């Protein structure tokens, strides 16, 4: 690869200024908490399939493959949707993720329904990932290099939190379906944080006075000829 000198202005100290931006912290919270609901269930697919749906052990890898297909399709579609309308995509994906998690909590005892809902969960969750990434890049101003890394950090925190809280309710004796309700609650928090973030941006834009629009250039004057009747006519263009 050819050598690139880089920018001397992009120092570590300059990159760390990203932590002064409140919207960055808010978006990191969206990833760490809201996306954690996705992992609360995905961390315990095996016991949910075998202990709740009472399916044989060979159904576990099948359920995981179905989840992976949903994740792949969600990644392919999520980026395009985020480019078209980030706000609707992010909020809609959280709503979809929460609804799917609630349905898993209610119908996980049926293996075919559970498999379909695992596909839907991974589809919606994979739309969240590029949407959160895009949102973080938008609010990071000129610190996008470190913002791209912070997104993965936030999602890994969500992975840990989802698995932790899901395991906590299982250890408390609430059953293997309980992580779905934990995930729904985390998705609701993520939805609330995303809505607050977009609301704050809209409020800030409303407080900023609109920029003065430049006057359009005036069209060249067309000489007028006085007609016989005293009216005016535009001069003939040669």
Least confident of 37-41, 48-52, 145-149, 214-218: 214-218
Percent of the chain with pLDDT over 90: 63
pLDDT of residue 13: 77
Q: What is the pLDDT of residues 79-113, one digit of tens each?
A: 899 999 999 999 999 999 999 999 999 999 999 99
Helix (H) / strand (E) element for 28: namely helix 22-29
CATH classification (class only), 18-207 = mainly alpha
> What percent helix, strand, coil does the chain show, rounded to 5?
70, 5, 25
* 60-90 residues labelled b (16+ CB within 10 A) or e (exposed): beebbebbeebbeebbeebbebbeeebbebb
pTM: 0.80
Q: Report the chain's mean pLDDT, rounded to a whole number.
A: 85
pLDDT of residue 174: 95
141 compared with 39, residue with greater pLDDT: 39
Decide: 177 and 106 in contact? Cβ < 8 Å: no
| β-pairing verdict for 232-234 and 224-226 | antiparallel
């Amino acid at each position: 690869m050819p050598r690139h000198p880089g920018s001397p202005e992009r120092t570590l100290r300059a990159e760390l200024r990203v932590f002064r931006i409140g919207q960055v912290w808010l978006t990191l919270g969206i990833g760490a908490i809201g996306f954690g609901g996705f992992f609360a269930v995905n961390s315990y697919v095996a016991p949910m399939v075998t202990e709740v749906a009472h399916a044989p052990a060979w159904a576990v890898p099948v359920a995981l493959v179905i989840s992976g297909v949903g994740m792949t399709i969600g990644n392919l579609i999520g980026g395009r949707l985020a480019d078209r309308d980030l706000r609707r995509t992010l909020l809609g994906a959280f709503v979809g993720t929460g609804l799917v998690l609630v349905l898993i909590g209610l119908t996980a005892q049926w293996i075919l329904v559970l498999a379909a809902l695992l596909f839907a969960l991974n589809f919606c969750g994979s739309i969240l990932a590029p949407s959160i990434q895009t949102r973080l890049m938008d609010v990071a101003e000129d610190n996008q290099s470190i913002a791209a890394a912070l997104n993965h950090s936030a999602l890994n925190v969500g992975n840990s939190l989802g698995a932790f809280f899901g395991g906590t309710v299982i250890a408390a004796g609430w059953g293997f379906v309980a992580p779905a309700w934990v995930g729904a609650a985390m998705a609701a928090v993520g939805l609330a944080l995303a809505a607050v973030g977009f609301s704050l941006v809209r409020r800030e834009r409303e407080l900023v006075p609109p920029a003065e629009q430049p006057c359009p250039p005036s069209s060249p004057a067309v000489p007028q000829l006085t007609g016989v009747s005293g009216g005016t006519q535009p001069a003939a263009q040669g």
